[in-house]
Amino acid sequence: MDRPHLRATGFTNAEEIQIDKVKDVPFLLEDKLKSLGTKFEKADELWGVKVVVDGHLITGQNPKSAKFVGEAILKALK
């Protein structure tokens, strides 16, 4: 059975470039997830809040999203 493309978020390429972390990581997360077929979703602005829930996978775009990831986890556990 084919699974529809997974949906997720995380640090965007632009955010990693802005904080000069590209040299510290072996790949850019946004590019890697897209190359694996993930539907990568992001906030409209850099450092915006974005949470994506896809089944049991709960992801947040950046630290600003942490509170909202926690809320999504609590909701999922109920």
Rounded to the nearest 5°, which phi and psi values hold at 16? -65, -40
Q: What is the DSSP letter of 75?
A: H
Q: Where are the domains of the chain?
A: 7-77
pLDDT, one tens digit per residue, over 12-67 is 999 999 999 899 999 999 999 999 999 999 999 999 999 999 999 999 999 999 99
The whole model's pTM is what?
A: 0.88
Which tops the pLDDT comparison, 3 or 23? 23
Give the C-alpha separation, 69 to 67, whole Å.
5
User: Number of helices and strands (H, E) in the chain?
Assistant: 3, 4
pLDDT at 1 over 60: no
Cα angle, residue 21 at apex, residues 58 and 61 outer, rounded to 5°: 20
Identify the residue whose tokens are 């640090």. Answer: 11
